[in-house]
Amino acid sequence: MKTLSPTLKKLVKALNASEFLSGASLGKILSISRNAIWKHVNQLTKYGVAIETAQSKGYYLKQPLILLDKSLVKKNLTYTSKFLPNKIEILGSITSTSDYLKELLIDSPNEIVICLAEHQSAGRGRFGRAWYSPFGTNIYLSCRWCVAKDVSQLNGLSLVAALSVINALKEFKIKDGLSIKWPNDILWKEKKLGGILTEINAESYGLTQIIIGIGLNVNMSSTAKDKIDHSWTSLNQITSGYHDRNKIAGLLIGHLMQSLEKFNEIGFASFDNQWKKYDYLLNKKINIAINKNNIKGIAQGVNEQGHLLLRTDSGVVSAFSAGETSLHAVAKSMR
């Protein structure tokens, strides 16, 4: 279902009353039959929303669920920047927000389109991995920027996107413990809180299509541990509370726009100092895996293009533009 029906949205709002509500009273609130309520509750259950059903009492939402809402996202987009999204789309269930934007027609050069979804059925991570995307739980956001730049001018953009996520999280409530594992794993105290998948395609007429896909764990339940094969965390675990994703999405978009604007004008050089502050790998013994080769060394930060610098045992420092990094000692748990 590309977008959620207004009835389904209203039902979720009503169920958030945090008490049992009978089919009849829900029917009254929504002006639909009890049978229609039952069908919509079923739909939510199919999405994985935990709803308790008791014959005498009705329906009860086991955890709070605030759905994404375009007007609330916009309300929280308070960061001032010359760059603003031309369009923000909120979808219900989609294969992947990045794939959706790849197919969307481009209206004009320099256009920026944002897409958020409640659920991704085929969310993608780096290296062809799946990105677990349960309904109504986390942020699955993609941003498409169509720009008249050559691919070679876009070095470091992926790192810049990661820094914008860090800035949004800092403005939220997370003051300590944040770092970035090159190129763009967002970590909190060494656990993965979010990830970024940046895809760059040269288009016709000199345009380059950039799609930045951001996955951020917000209200993930600890039962998700069976679905994720690396050490992870989520904002609700860090701060012990449920979070309204509309607020976080607004902050993310605002900081991303500001960073894109700065990157467009100056490039990665203007982010270098900030990167140093959040560089998780700096001076650590690491492995970098590239096309089945495993290279060991000590991470030395990044160069002006955002490429990872690695000092190998021979003392030579080499730059890497791609690859999967891990720490020596915890190579298995911390991908």
* Contacts with ligand BTN, residue ranges (CB under 6 A): 96-98, 120, 123-126, 129, 131, 140-142, 185, 195-197, 213-215
Tokens encoding 151: 């691919």
DSSP string, 8-41: HHHHHHHHTTSS-B-HHHHHHHHTS-HHHHHHHH
Q: How far is the CB of 124 from ligand BTN (least distance, A)?
A: 4
Dihedral sign computed on CA atoms, order 22, 28, 29, 32: positive
Q: How far is the CB of 158 from ligand BTN (least distance, A)?
A: 10
Q: How far is the CB of 257 from ligand BTN (least distance, A)?
A: 17
CB nearer to ligand BTN: pick between 143 and 310: 143
- Amino acid at site 315: G
Name the burial class of residue 62, with classes exposed (0-12), middle (13-18) and buried (19+) by CB atoms within 10 angstroms of its CB: exposed
Asked if 140 contacts 97 with a C-beta cutoff of 8 angstroms, the reply is: yes
Q: How far is the CB of 319 from ligand BTN (least distance, A)?
A: 22
CB nearer to ligand BTN: pick between 70 and 102: 102
Q: Angle, to 10 degrees, between the axis of helix 34-47 and the axis of helix 23-30? A: 100
CB nearer to ligand BTN: pick between 10 and 129: 129
Q: How far is the CB of 143 from ligand BTN (least distance, A)?
A: 10
Q: What is the dihedral of CA 242, 215, 164, 325, to 10 degrees?
A: 120
Name the residue whose CB lies closest to ligand BTN: 195
Which residue spans within the chain are E strands per DSSP?
51-54, 58-61, 87-94, 112-120, 139-147, 178-181, 185-188, 191-202, 208-216, 285-290, 293-302, 308-311, 317-320, 324-327
Q: How far is the CB of 97 from ligand BTN (least distance, A)?
A: 4
CB nearer to ligand BTN: pick between 32 and 228: 228
Q: How far is the CB of 334 from ligand BTN (least distance, A)?
A: 13
CB nearer to ligand BTN: pick between 11 and 184: 184
CB nearer to ligand BTN: pick between 24 and 130: 130
Distance CA 207, CA 73 (A): 28
CB nearer to ligand BTN: pick between 15 and 91: 91
